[in-house]
Structure 1
Amino acid sequence: MQSEIRKELLDAFTNAGDDFLSGQHLAELIGCSRTAVWKHIEELRKEGFKLDAVRNKGYRILKTPEKITADEIRLGLTTTLMGRNIHYEESVESTQKIAHRLASEDAPEGTIIIAEEQLAGRGRMARKWHSPKYTGIWMSMLLRPNMPLSNAPQLTLLTAVATVQAIEEMTDVIPEIKWPNDILINGKKVTGILTELQAEADQIHSIIIGIGINVNQKKDDFPSELQEIATSLFIENKVSVSRAELIRSILKHFEKLYTVYLEKGFLPIKLLWEGYAGSIGKYIKARTLTTTIEGKALGITDDGVLKLEDESGFIHHIYSADIEL
């Protein structure tokens, strides 16, 4: 009940914009006492929200905290599915690990898991993902789509498109997608995406998509071995980015694309993805578990599989590989 009051309070402030809301109006809108409203206002202040309180006018939010909190994400959130249920923790081993547990406990679709720090963040093939505190977005999203198991990798590509759209909305940088799960700026990695399943042979129970974004790191925040291959939005854009606002933008774009995908299939997503792909038309190396294939990247199939034409003209279909441009 307390969390529902908080959600409705933040929705009210979101809809009000810069207008004041009186305690009485908030109490009537939410269906609680003015005392309860006041208590939640004080809790927001403790979290780092700066609120203006004017006699006979009411309250309005002037500033949100620098830390990401569930309440800060909710303030301004316009989605109906994604992010309406938020699990936030200061420090975790991995948001993916928590997402798997919540999925098993029947958490609703659209649940997101956010942490300020990951102690054992993971990328593809069990690689470590550097996730320092208060600098990036370390987030997992829980989905429960009714679709064939073989289509699950398409959601990685959809997530990449949504993330690029959000970055473009929030910054002046031009990101590119590197198949299957990386986003690059000026050739350096800024985002990684990890998609995992809970499924049986013929049925998906849940899909968990992890997103790691380097947002406000400076060069010295990266280990020396990463400084030449990784970057952040701050390094490329020269200004700090609101992480909560970027999360809201990602959720907004993802929900829109996800709705299109469920209604119309992968083709609209494919066309968008190819528009952002940095490797199409370029010569690449695709390192699979068994071999390395070199050739020209032609794009992706209607199922999201990478097409690579080698020197003999044979077109390989690459389902899983590390790509080197």
Structure 2
Amino acid sequence: MRCKLYGIYFFFKSKFQVKDIHKIVDIQFEEIDSTQTHAKLEYENKYKGQITFLRAVHQIAGKGQYDRKWECQSKRNILTTIIFPYFTNIQYQKNVTLVIGYTIVQIYKELYNVDAELKWVNDILLNSKKSGGILTESEQIGDQLVLYIGIGLNIDWCIEDATCLEQILGKKIDQEELFLKVKERVIQTLYTLNEQGFEIFRIGINQVLYRKGQFCEFVNSKTLQIIQTGIVEELNKDGDLVIRGQDGIIRIIEPNLRMKL
């Protein structure tokens, strides 16, 4: 398992305070089973006390949501896990996946003028097809809540029924430019969510929410049995997905359900 190591420091200012200097380390693996698995196994031994970006050129056992495999046969797709040990506002932990997904949707608009959508709770869609995903896991280590945020973005390859960025744009893109922008903005997003909360993201997320105002079915993530149906209304102030049933009753979708495409 070969890797390259890069180190920088991040000085973050907010309207509330000036943060301490936090070290950021980039590590690139030519090949690894899963950056997410590696992050969790090696945090205390290798990465404690710093923000770490673990990036894979090739990943042979990528991890998706609900223990699914994240497939990738490209060496240009972005496969990374961010270890972030400075998240202290536990009430916003549940919102991390959504705001990171929204951040990437914004980046796509800024860099490529392409309108992506955010499918609750962790998928990034282009032309209603999956082009990326976010997986957030965490663990309490002493008095620290450590976040492990896996990001997979399809650049030039995807599985059947999905899509990739270059396919949508019809041209090659600068993968390194995209990665550096994702890196910069994800860190800013995590600090902002931790300090200022979910509400400042909510309006923007609702504007790019996939199937908003449309009838949807929601299935059990394991059995795929339909559990709820209704019109997608919005994300509420807590980040829960709100639907309106055919009976007119407002309901909140449980986190173990997923939207059926």
For structure 1, the 5+ residue unaligned runs are: 1-67
The code of the aligned residue for 2:189 comes to L
Residue identity (%): 24
Structure 2 equivalent of residue 317 of structure 1: 252
Q: More helix by proportion, 1 or 2?
A: 1
CA pair 78-269 structure 1, distance change in 2 beyond 3 A = farther
1:70 CA drift (Å): 5.5
- 2:145 is aligned to 205
AA aligned opposite 1:306 = L
- The one of 212, 217, 235 aligned to 1:280: 212
Q: How does 1:1-325 map to 2 (within 5 A)?
A: 80=11, 84-105=24-45, 106-144=47-85, 145-148=87-90, 151-199=92-140, 205-217=145-157, 222=158, 226-227=159-160, 229-288=161-220, 291-320=226-255, 321-325=257-261
Separation in 1, partners of 2:94, 2:50: 18
* Deviation string, structure 1 residues 129-150 (Cα, Å, up to 9, x no partner): 11224120000011121122x5
Larger Rg: 1
- TM-score, structure 2 normalization: 0.85
Kindly provide the CA deviation profile for residues 157-215 of structure 1, in whole angstroms up to 9, marking residues without a partner as x. 11101111222222232110000000000011000110111137x96531101000001
Write the distance in 1 (CA, Å) between the matches of 2:9 and 2:146: 24
Amino acid at match of 2:88: N
Does the CA contact (< 8 Å) of 2:51 and 2:82 recur in 1? yes
Contact 1:183 / 1:191 at 8 angstroms: preserved in 2? yes
Residue segments in structure 2 that go unaligned for 5+ positions in a row = 13-21
Q: How far has the Cα of 1:308 moved from its partner?
A: 1.1
> Partner of 1:84: helix, strand, or coil?
strand
Over residues 272-300 of structure 1, what are the superposed CA-to-partner deviations in whole Å (9 max), with x where a residue is unaligned? 21122122111111113575211001111
Q: Output the CA distance in 1 between the equivalents of 2:62 and 2:162.
A: 16
SS in 1 for 2:63: coil
Q: Partners of 1:83 and 1:169 in 2: how far apart?
A: 27
The TM-score, its normalising length taken from structure 1, stands at 0.69
User: Are residues 265 and 109 of structure 1, via their aligned partners in 2, closer, same or farther at CA, if it must alter by over 3 Å?
Assistant: farther
